[in-house]
Amino acid sequence: MTKEQWETAEQNLQSSYRIVKLQADGYTLSLQTQRYKMQLCIAVYVDGKIQGKWLTEDCEIRRKFFQKHKHSILTRKEQEKLKRERKAFREAVLSNSVYYTYSPYWSSFRSLKRHLCQNCTDITLYEEVEA
């Protein structure tokens, strides 16, 4: 996509409930601004849907289009205590206390665009639709 097309897509998504459709690596992506957890975000629908199995199972769609979130089992206080431990022990505990979740919701258009550009080889503007 050209720079102007990305800017047009971003401007269309700034107003609520507008849909921008993209073609990315053979999939039709519908990007829609909507409310999620009391804030506006961009939802990514792949071929018109979001399936729960994409969020739980490792697949191409999850890696290409959904946002990855890193979480820790440890509290901040426990992480601070670990800083006093030996480096090898600290890194072993920290690596075993991390888990990842995936979400079809993006809070930033820039991060969505960056992720799509890094993970997709062919992205084109499909159409712009007003919901």
CA dihedral sign, ordered 67, 73, 75, 77 = negative
Confidence of residue 129 (pLDDT cuts 50, 70, 90): low
The mean pLDDT value for 100-117 works out to 94
Per-residue pLDDT of 59-87, as tens digits, reads 999 999 999 999 999 999 998 998 898 99
pLDDT of res. 128: 52
Per-residue pLDDT of 113-126, as tens digits, reads 999 999 999 898 87
pLDDT, position 40: 87
Instruction: Give the pLDDT confidence score for residue 125 in this predicted structure.
Output: 86
pTM over 0.95: no
Contact indicator for 5, 128 with CB cutoff of 8 Å: no
The DSSP symbol for 16 reads T
Long-range Cβ contacts of 87-92 (<8 Å, 24+ apart) = none
